[in-house]
């Protein structure tokens, strides 16, 4: 924990010198991490050690990607302590100064670790041409050159997470059951600093590479303040770490890129796979270098594909991975494939109708309009085939209640929640999907009543939902579509209460049963984000209490 | 009207030419770079291919796959073209060969034919760039070519003379390989005592034998002194032991080489880089036929590997120059170096008579001659004779002996050295 007495300033103006290498191949980088986090603001230094450690571990888990090799500093070597001490002693700290301290304290040890593994890592850099040359075919050598070794020595990076903003609020409130409920919101602002180790003839320098920032919030309602605080914090920290994972993948040096080796219709084959951490349904932009009439080279994008099958190139280096084209351009072998990192989830925004009915012949309860949101977590990586999601959705709508005894109509509100499994079938820009799961339905009818007493009639039910839809992909991270859902569920249990009397009365076997069975049709907009301000699923779980 | 007609005709001709050019099998790009000789029969080339689409109208866009296939085919053609005609050491060297090849190049560069020479090509492109608003695709691709197969096909097509034919006619050049020796140093001793130089000789000899050259390995330097004493002309070069050895064993060509290995540390590993300079000389004149320096990559590998890599980089080019020299020399006949030394017991007039008789005889019997040295008592000539008339050096010796005996009846001709390249005779008074 880098928590000095003096103010630590992380100057935000980092020299962002990134070579936008749009073609070529990804070469493995090696990463060193410190189990530390820089606390770069007074508010962040109020965090407990437990929270700081948790954040550091979350970031470590997220940033430890398969595309990297690791140069872990030996535990108990005192290197980290030495680094921390120097940081604390510094009068004023900017990223250049941190880089210098790194170089002075532990980079020589990183170089030693790299050196131990250099031959094995360099052998992975021997290209196909070199593997066909005399040195490997006849001389049976690994074919490693000094250039390969230097590339390995120059592929070392160090990352250091930082937090430059932290806040938490706690609200205690007694609920209807006279229980105390503690609501905590926690907000973390921070990011990750990346440094690059340069090696030249035995001399090392560390230079700041870039900074990625994110912010994240967590929310929890629990019976105890501590539980609530911790649940909100872990939700925020995990989301913060996940955002940083995508941000790390977005760094040009770390983006996976390779050549398309095979093209069959909309299917492409490429030589990356499990070794680099390619996952089913990952997105990759395809494109090519184009030379203008004045000789300028530029990278021209031509559609994108998602990964359908991941080749196991750890056991068989030649095994290809395959992708299915979504926006399919005029593709040919040799074109470049560049990773387009996103969070492994889609967010749906919807508008349309929901089914609602009532069993009483003398009354009518009719849905008018509903809006909905859904988050679909991609689970294809675990399933092994593309297009599988776990979805969690919520819909809110309004309805109108009428009956023969009333001249006027009553307003009603609807809230539907469902958790489903969804399978999407992509055919170029179009994708059809089917889904099925469990649903919760809630309806409440508000009656202004007489004598200024408002009555609320509430009905809840559990049931199911099946459905399907059709989407049109607009670009890399957006799609629109139409969905049809068929809900089934009903309940004749109503809770009635008025605002004059806190007591609720529950009526079972009410003559008027609410029928949620029926079709819903909605227009939907789908967005695949690179970062989220909070994790909806964690928030829902934390609020479910 | 006639102007209109001629314009139409000219346009038709242009269109026909364009159509023909479009269908031509000749490579569009003709760009390639030699990477290495991966063995005696294979070379690795990075070739550039151009896929070209000629739009019929503004809406006519190229099909990417088709464009790519065209570029790949063009890269193959460019690679083969480079081996045949490009670079500093092409396979076709004489005007006759080039002329014969131009008559059948269209069929030679046909897609089906060209494919068989490609032993391997990379899945990936070294470069891939779209040009000309997407109507051209330029790719660079690494490929390994079977040069032996190309050579055999060219022989079968009558473009080149088979090495076997050359061998039947005269034999491939006999080549001696020795390390470059500083003045006063014995190259054979250097070879025996320095494992690096020994490895170098082995690699070059392996290359030569794989190409069916006769490799001569000198075992000792005894006898050179006698050779030197026989000729005033050789005294000037007596310190060049390699040259003397080559002459003494009758090598047509000799190759010298030197090896430098540089090392440095990358991390804790020592990386080595070899630079190997290979020189080929015509034995009879010590004329430099070709020199090339080959470099290995810097590698954490044993010396032998970087030496072989460096030699591979150089030897192919030097051999190409030896072949070119040999082909040209063969067209002039079989070359011999003739040295005749007349005993100073004879007076100047007698010696002059016999030397004049000899020069006349050499001029008469040879297709071509070159006088290297003619002193009062010594003659040093290069002659090129018809190999059918003089299949062996003893045939020439026999003729020369007759001529000398006729000119100097009291002279006794003694053969100092005679091999397939050198005839050294001494005329003593009986």
Note the ipTM here: 0.73
**Domain match, B115 and B183 both:** no
**Domain match, B25 and B136 both:** yes
Domain-ending residue, one of A319, A340, A361:
A340
Partner-chain residue, chosen from A128, A146, A201, that has the shortest CB–CB distance to B298? A146
Q: Which domain holds residue B351?
A: 334-429
Q: A401 Cβ partners below 8 Å, 6+ apart?
A: A358, A363, A364, A365, A409, A410, A411, A412, A445
**Domain match, B269 and B410 both:** no
Residue B355, in any domain of the structure: yes
Task: Find the closest chain B residue to A111 by CA distance.
Answer: B267
**Domain match, B179 and B71 both:** no
* Model pLDDT, residue A501: 62
Q: Which domain holds residue A307?
A: 257-340
* Model pLDDT, residue A92: 67
Residue B161, in any domain of the structure: no
Domain-ending residue, one of B291, B313, B330:
B330
**A247-283 pLDDT, tens digit each:** 999 998 899 999 999 999 899 999 999 999 999 999 9
Residue A236, in any domain of the structure: yes
SS3 per-residue string spanning A423-444: EEEEECCEEEEEEEEEEEEEEE
**Domain match, B62 and B76 both:** yes
* Beta-carbon-side half-sphere exposure of residue A325 (alpha carbons within 13 Å): 20
* Model pLDDT, residue B220: 54
**Domain match, A413 and A502 both:** yes
Domain-ending residue, one of B153, B180, B198:
B153
Greater pLDDT, A110 or B140: B140
Is A2's pLDDT higher than 50?
Answer: no
Partner-chain residue, chosen from B39, B68, B265, that has the shortest CB–CB distance to A134? B39
**B255-284 pLDDT, tens digit each:** 999 999 999 988 888 999 999 999 998 887
**Domain match, A171 and A286 both:** no
Q: Does A289 touch chain B (CB under 8 A)?
A: yes
Interface of B with A (CB under 8 A): 35-39, 44, 61, 63-65, 67-68, 120, 122-125, 127-131, 134, 139, 142, 144, 264-269, 271, 273, 297-301, 305, 308-309, 312
Contact A84, A36 (CB under 8 A): yes
* Confidence tier at A317 by pLDDT (50, 70, 90): confident
Residue B36, in any domain of the structure: yes
**Domain match, B27 and B98 both:** yes
Q: What is the mean pLDDT of residues A385-393?
A: 94
- What CATH number does residue B361 fall under? 3.30.1360
Cα A86 off chain centre by: 35
Closest listed residue to residue A397, CA positions, set A439, A350, A460, A363:
A350
Residue B3, in any domain of the structure: no
Is B224's pLDDT higher than 70?
Answer: no
* Model pLDDT, residue B2: 54
Q: Which of A24, A147, A332, A338 to mutate to test the interface with B (most CBs of B within 10 A)?
A: A332
Residue B311, in any domain of the structure: yes
**Domain match, A125 and A174 both:** yes
Is A380's pLDDT higher than 90?
Answer: yes
Kindly report the nearest CA distance between residue B160 and chain A, in angstroms.
28
* Model pLDDT, residue A232: 92
Residue B13, in any domain of the structure: no
Is A500's pLDDT higher than 80?
Answer: no
Which letter does DSSP use for residue B182 in this model?
Answer: -
* Model pLDDT, residue A288: 92
Contact B423, B338 (CB under 8 A): yes
**Domain match, B316 and B172 both:** yes
**B381-394 pLDDT, tens digit each:** 888 888 778 877 88
**Domain match, B180 and B235 both:** yes
Is B40's pLDDT higher than 80?
Answer: no
Q: Does A132 touch chain B (CB under 8 A)?
A: yes
* Confidence tier at A390 by pLDDT (50, 70, 90): very high
Q: Both tokens of residue B189?
A: 């001793």
Residue B186, in any domain of the structure: yes
Q: B96 Cβ partners below 8 Å, 6+ apart?
A: none
Handedness of CA A273, A277, A283, A284 (dihedral sign): negative
**B154-203 pLDDT, tens digit each:** 988 888 876 555 555 566 788 889 898 887 778 888 888 888 898 889 88
* Model pLDDT, residue A319: 92
- What CATH number does residue B209 fall under? 3.40.50.10610
**Domain match, A279 and A239 both:** no
Q: Both tokens of residue A417?
A: 């929640």
Query: Chains A, B: CB contacts under 8 A, how many?
Result: 119
- Most trustworthy range by pLDDT among A88-92, A361-365, B46-50: B46-50
* Confidence tier at A429 by pLDDT (50, 70, 90): very high
Is A423's pLDDT higher than 50?
Answer: yes
**Domain match, A292 and A378 both:** no
**Domain match, B258 and B297 both:** yes
* Model pLDDT, residue B241: 72
**Domain match, A329 and A406 both:** no
* Confidence tier at A179 by pLDDT (50, 70, 90): confident
Residue A7, in any domain of the structure: no
Structural domain count of chain B: 3
**Domain match, A247 and A264 both:** no
* Confidence tier at A14 by pLDDT (50, 70, 90): very low
**A206-256 pLDDT, tens digit each:** 888 888 889 999 998 888 889 999 999 999 999 999 999 999 999 988 999
**B299-328 pLDDT, tens digit each:** 998 888 899 888 888 887 788 788 878 877
Which letter does DSSP use for residue A333 in this model?
Answer: T
Residue A11, in any domain of the structure: no
What count of residues does chain A have?
545
Phi, then psi, of A521 in degrees rounded to 5: -120, 130
Residue B410, in any domain of the structure: yes
* Model pLDDT, residue B408: 72
Model confidence, pTM: 0.77
**Domain match, A61 and A178 both:** yes
**Domain match, B97 and B205 both:** no
* Model pLDDT, residue B19: 46
Structural domain count of chain A: 3
**Domain match, A250 and A271 both:** no
Domain-ending residue, one of A224, A254, A284:
A254
The sheet with strand A514-515 has its strands ordered as A357-358, A514-515, A490-491
* Confidence tier at A144 by pLDDT (50, 70, 90): confident
CA pair distance A478, A525, nearest whole angstrom? 7
Residue written as tokens 């690679």? Answer: B79
Partner-chain residue, chosen from B61, B68, B120, that has the shortest CB–CB distance to A334? B68
- B36 neighbourhood in chain A, CB within 8 Å: 133-134
**Domain match, B316 and B377 both:** no
């Amino acid at each position: 924990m880098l928590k000095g007495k003096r103010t630590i300033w992380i100057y935000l103006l980092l020299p962002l010198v990134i070579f936008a290498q749009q073609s070529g191949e990804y070469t493995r980088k090696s990463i060193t991490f410190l189990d530390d986090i820089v606390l770069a603001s007074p508010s962040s230094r109020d965090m407990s050690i437990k929270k700081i450690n948790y954040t550091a571990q979350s970031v470590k888990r997220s940033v430890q990607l398969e595309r990297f090799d690791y140069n872990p500093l030996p535990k108990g070597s005192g290197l980290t302590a030495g680094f921390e001490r120097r940081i604390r002693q510094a009068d004023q700290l900017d990223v250049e100064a941190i880089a210098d301290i790194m170089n002075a304290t532990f980079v020589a040890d990183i170089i030693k670790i790299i050196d131990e593994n250099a031959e094995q890592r360099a052998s992975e850099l021997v290209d196909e041409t070199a593997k066909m040359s005399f040195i490997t075919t006849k001389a049976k050598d690994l074919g490693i050159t000094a250039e390969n070794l230097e590339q390995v020595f120059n592929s070392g990076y160090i990352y250091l997470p930082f937090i430059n903003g932290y806040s938490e609020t706690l609200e205690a409130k007694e609920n209807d059951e006279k229980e105390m409920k503690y609501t905590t919101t926690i907000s973390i602002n921070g990011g990750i600093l990346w440094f690059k180790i340069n090696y030249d003839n035995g001399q090392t320098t560390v230079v700041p590479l870039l900074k990625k920032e994110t912010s994240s919030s967590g929310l929890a309602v629990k019976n105890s303040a501590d539980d609530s605080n911790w649940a909100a914090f872990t939700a925020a920290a995990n989301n913060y770490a996940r955002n940083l994972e995508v941000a790390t993948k977005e760094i040009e040096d770390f983006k996976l890129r390779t050549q398309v080796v095979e093209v069959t219709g909309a299917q492409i084959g490429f030589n990356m796979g499990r070794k680099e951490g390619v996952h089913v349904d990952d997105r990759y932009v395809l494109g090519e270098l184009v030379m203008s009439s004045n000789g300028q080279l530029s990278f021209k994008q031509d559609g994108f594909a998602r990964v359908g099958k991941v080749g196991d190139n750890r056991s068989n280096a030649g095994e290809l991975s395959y992708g299915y084209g979504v926006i399919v351009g005029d593709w040919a072998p040799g074109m470049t494939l560049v990773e387009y990192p996103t969070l492994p989830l889609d967010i749906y925004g919807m508008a349309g109708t929901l089914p609602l009915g009532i069993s009483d012949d003398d009354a009518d309860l009719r849905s008018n309009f509903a809006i909905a949101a859904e988050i679909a977590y991609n689970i294809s990586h675990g399933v092994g085939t593309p297009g599988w999601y776990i979805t969690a959705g919520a819909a809110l709508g309004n309805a109108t209640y009428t009956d023969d005894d009333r001249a006027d109509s009553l307003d009603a509100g609807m809230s539907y929640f469902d958790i489903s499994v969804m399978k999407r079938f992509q055919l170029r820009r179009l994708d059809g999907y089917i889904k099925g799961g469990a649903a919760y339905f809630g309806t409440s009818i508000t009656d202004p009543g007489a004598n200024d007493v408002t009555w609320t009639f509430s009905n809840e039910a559990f049931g199911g939902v099946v459905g399907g839809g059709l989407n049109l992909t607009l670009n890399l991270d957006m799609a629109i579509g139409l969905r049809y859902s068929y809900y089934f569920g009903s309940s004749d249990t109503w809770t009635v209460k008025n605002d004059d009397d806190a007591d609720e009365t529950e009526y079972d076997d009410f003559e008027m049963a609410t029928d949620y069975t029926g079709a819903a049709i909605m227009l939907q907009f789908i967005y695949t984000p690179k970062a989220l301000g909070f994790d909806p699923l964690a928030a829902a779980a934390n609020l479910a209490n | 009207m006639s102007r209109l007609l001629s314009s139409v005709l000219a346009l038709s001709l242009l269109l026909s030419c364009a159509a023909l050019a479009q269908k031509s099998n000749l490579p569009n790009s003709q760009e390639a770079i030699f990477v290495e000789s991966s063995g005696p029969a294979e070379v690795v080339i990075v070739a550039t291919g151009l896929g070209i689409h000629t739009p019929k109208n503004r809406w006519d866009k190229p099909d990417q796959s088709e464009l790519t296939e065209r570029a790949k085919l063009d890269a193959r053609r460019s690679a083969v073209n480079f081996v045949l005609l490009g670079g500093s050491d092409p396979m076709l060297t004489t005007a006759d060969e080039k002329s014969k090849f131009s008559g059948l190049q269209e069929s030679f560069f046909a897609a089906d034919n060209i494919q068989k020479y490609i032993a391997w090509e990379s899945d990936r492109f070294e470069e891939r760039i779209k040009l000309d608003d997407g109507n051209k695709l330029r790719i660079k691709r690494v490929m390994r070519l079977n040069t032996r197969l190309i050579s055999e096909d060219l022989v079968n097509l009558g473009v080149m003379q088979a090495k076997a034919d050359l061998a039947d006619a005269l034999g491939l050049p006999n080549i001696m390989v020795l390390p470059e020796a500083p003045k006063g140093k014995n190259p054979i001793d250097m070879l025996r005592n320095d494992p690096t130089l020994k490895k170098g000789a082995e690699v070059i000899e392996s290359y030569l034998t794989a190409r069916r050259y006769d490799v001569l390995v000198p075992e000792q330097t005894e006898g050179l002194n006698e050779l030197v004493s026989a000729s005033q002309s050789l005294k000037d070069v007596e310190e060049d032991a390699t040259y003397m050895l080559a002459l003494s064993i009758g090598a047509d060509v000799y190759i010298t080489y030197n090896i430098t290995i540089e090392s440095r540390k990358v991390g804790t590993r020592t990386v080595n880089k070899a630079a190997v300079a290979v020189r080929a000389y015509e034995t009879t004149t010590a004329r430099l036929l070709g020199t090339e320096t080959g470099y290995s990559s810097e590698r954490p590998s044993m010396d032998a590997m970087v030496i072989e890599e460096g030699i591979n980089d150089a030897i192919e080019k030097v051999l190409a120059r030896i072949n070119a020299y040999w082909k040209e020399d063969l067209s002039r006949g079989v070359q011999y170096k003739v040295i005749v030394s007349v005993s100073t017991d004879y007076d100047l007039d007698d010696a002059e008579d016999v030397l004049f008789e000899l020069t006349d005889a050499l001029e008469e019997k040879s297709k071509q001659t070159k006088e290297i040295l003619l002193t009062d008592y010594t003659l040093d000539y290069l002659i090129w004779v018809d190999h059918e008339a003089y299949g062996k050096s003893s045939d020439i010796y026999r003729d020369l002996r007759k001529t000398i005996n006729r000119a100097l009846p009291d002279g006794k001709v003694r053969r100092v050295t005679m091999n397939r390249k050198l005839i050294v005779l001494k005329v003593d008074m009986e």
